[in-house]
Structure 1
Amino acid sequence: MIEVKQLTKRYGGTTAVKDLTFTVDPGQVTGFLGPNGSGKSTTLRMILGLHEPTSGTVTVEGRPFRSRPRGLRHVGSLLDAQEVHGGRSAVAHLSALARSNRIPRRRVDEVLERVGLAEVAGRRIGGFSLGMKQRLGIAAALLGDAPVLLFDEPLNGLDPEGVKWVRDLFRGLAAEGRTVFVSSHLMSEMEHTADQLIVIGRGELIAAESLEEFSARGTRQSVMVGTPDTEILRDLLAAEGAAVRADGRLLTVTGLSAARVGEIALVHRVPLHHLSTRSGSLEEAFMELTADSVQYLAGEPR
């Protein structure tokens, strides 16, 4: 378990994190979301004791992480897959981590096998692709068989097969009762992976709730309508105040219920081949609820 209480971090006159309070529970994958510059990386670094909070507290399994003499046995983390010595081999890199944390040498071979790098274990890391470095970073996080795992943008550089593998890995780790905390900007993957969400903006908490709750409260439902008379129905629905987007013979309608769309079509004798309601996506909810917290907008002066 990770417990963050009234956590604040200031750099001079800039407040990166402000009065954050949340809990990350074991047994589930918790996604950590926020726009660029929202304070996610700063928060992760404070959890790991790399940055000292200005005020507030953060504990992992009931204690500050800095108090753990063999950290990898308690928390496994991947913050930046590029922060490795390119001249070392993968096996040398992990062996050094194992020795410094008193982890059995056999774990090095086990995690290299698990992440799919066993065949390149002796190669220098400098020749690895970004995806291979991500796998190596995940291997390092798994090395100590820790109950708490933190990952910052773990999917960067991975191909579709690698993304699916990571998704299954995180779910498997959570099913073992571990605390899995994942920061990512890929909403589609969080939608397939996360059970709970922590969402921040400009360093402040926006939401701490289930994926379903967050997606539902931040979006409007839309109605999908299939008809051969798209132009006629589109004009009728627009006259009722609906927003309508056409894609061939399929209309996406917001602002009216499915029942009302069906009534309008019936009255005007417009045939329907399809009528269904679609809930909003995580990405739509995120964009809507963090709109006021976006720090860097494309095309705007700074």
Structure 2
Amino acid sequence: MIEVNRLTKRYGRVTAVNDLSFTVRSGHVTGFLGPNGAGKSTTLRMILGLHAPTSGSATVAGRDCRGLRRALRQVGALLDAGDVHGGRTARDQLRFLARSNAIPAGRVEEVLREVGLSAAADRRIGGFSLGMRQRLGIAGALLGDPPVLIFDEPLNGLDPEGVLFVRNLFRRLAAEGRTVFVSSHLMTEMEHTADRLIVVGRGELLADETVAEFAARGSQQTVQVRTTDPAELVTALTAGGARVAQAPDGLLTVTGLDATAIARTALDHRLLIHELVPRTGSLEQAFMELTGSSVEYAAGARA
């Protein structure tokens, strides 16, 4: 379990996190959402003991991470997949982490297999794609088999197969009774992966509730659609005035047209529909409505 109690972090005159309190419980995937500049990364770093809070506290399983010995056995984290020595091989990077935390060497091969990097284990990390670096970072987080796991934007750079792998991994870890805390900007993916959400804006708590409760805040109806040709249907629906968001696995979330109009459009273009599910609110819409006044750098804003 992660407990954050009245956590505050100031940098000079700038308050990055302001009197923030929440609890991340075990057995769930908890999403951590907020616009850029909301204080998410700063909060994660304070939880992990990498930044000292100005006031308040953050503990993992009742302990301050700054006092943990062999920390990877207690909490695993991926904050920045690019923050690794590019001249090392993937296997050497994990061996270094294992040795420094008294983790058996055999565990390195186990996590390499788990994240699908066994064949690339002896390649230098500098030649890895972003998606491969993300997988390596996840392997590092899993290395100590910890009860608490923290991930900051773990889906960046992953292909659809990688996204599905991570989604299933997080669900399995939570089902094993672990605490899984995931920061992400991918609303649709959070809707499919997370059980609960913690939403912040300008360093303050805006919501702490289940995904269903949060999505119900959205005021417009959306429709989720699966089809044989997502790209063509997106073009047709957009031409008809709809707004369409596409998830990495091909799921379309449509706003501005009801299910009947979407079905008619698909029929006109001879496209087969596999799934057509109206929803009263969407996670993305609820997020935009709740955090609109908290966006620090809004596109199209004028001074």
Normalised to the residue count of structure 1, the TM-score between the two structures is: 0.83
Structure 1 distance, partners of 2:278, 2:184, is: 28
Structure 2 unaligned residues grouped into runs of 5+: 224-254, 263-276
Answer whether contact 1:221 1:277 (CA < 8 A) is retained: no
Aligned in 2, Cα 1:119/1:213: closer, same or farther, shift over 3 Å? same
Aligned partner of 2:218 in structure 1 is 219
Task: State yes or no: 1:10 paired with 2:21.
Answer: no
Aligned partner of 1:118 in structure 2 is 118
1:290 partner letter: T
Structure 1 distance, partners of 2:294, 2:281, is: 20
Write out per-residue CA displacement over residues 119-157 of structure 1, whole angstroms, 9 at most, x where no aligned residue: 110110001000000000000000000000000000000
1:134-153 pair list within 5 angstroms:
134-153=134-153
Local SS of the residue matching 1:250: helix
Aligned partner of 2:296 in structure 1 is 295
For 2:261, which of 229, 250, 254 is the aligned residue?
250
2:14 partner letter: T
Local SS of the residue matching 2:77: strand
Aligned partner of 2:107 in structure 1 is 107
Aligned in 2, Cα 1:106/1:285: closer, same or farther, shift over 3 Å? same
What is the Cα deviation at residue 246 of structure 1? 5.2
Structure 2 distance, partners of 1:248, 1:166, is: 30
Structure 1 distance, partners of 2:180, 2:164, is: 16
Q: Give me the CA root mean square deviation.
A: 2.0
Aligned partner of 1:279 in structure 2 is 280
What is the Cα deviation at residue 71 of structure 1? 0.5
Aligned partner of 2:129 in structure 1 is 129
Write out per-residue CA displacement over residues 38-77 of structure 1, whole angstroms, 9 at most, x where no aligned residue: 0000000000000000000111001001111110000000
Aligned in 2, Cα 1:167/1:245: closer, same or farther, shift over 3 Å? closer
Aligned partner of 1:45 in structure 2 is 45
Structure 1 distance, partners of 2:115, 2:256, is: 44
Answer whether contact 1:151 1:182 (CA < 8 A) is retained: yes
What is the Cα deviation at residue 247 of structure 1? 7.6
What is the Cα deviation at residue 27 of structure 1? 0.2
2:199 partner letter: V
1:261-280 pair list within 5 angstroms:
278-280=279-281
What is the Cα deviation at residue 198 of structure 1? 0.4
Extract structure 1 runs of 4+ deviating beyond 4 A: 244-249
Aligned partner of 2:178 in structure 1 is 178
Aligned in 2, Cα 1:139/1:277: closer, same or farther, shift over 3 Å? closer
What is the Cα deviation at residue 222 of structure 1? 3.1
Local SS of the residue matching 1:43: helix
Write out per-residue CA displacement over residues 232-262 of structure 1, whole angstroms, 9 at most, x where no aligned residue: xxxxxxxxxxxx94589618xxxxxxxxxxx
What is the Cα deviation at residue 219 of structure 1? 1.5
Structure 2 distance, partners of 1:139, 1:161, is: 17
Aligned partner of 1:237 in structure 2 is none
Local SS of the residue matching 1:122: coil
Answer whether contact 2:4 2:57 (CA < 8 A) is retained: yes
Structure 2 distance, partners of 1:30, 1:24, is: 7
Normalised to the residue count of structure 2, the TM-score between the two structures is: 0.82
Larger Rg: 1
Structure 2 distance, partners of 1:248, 1:164, is: 26
Structure 2 distance, partners of 1:249, 1:80, is: 44
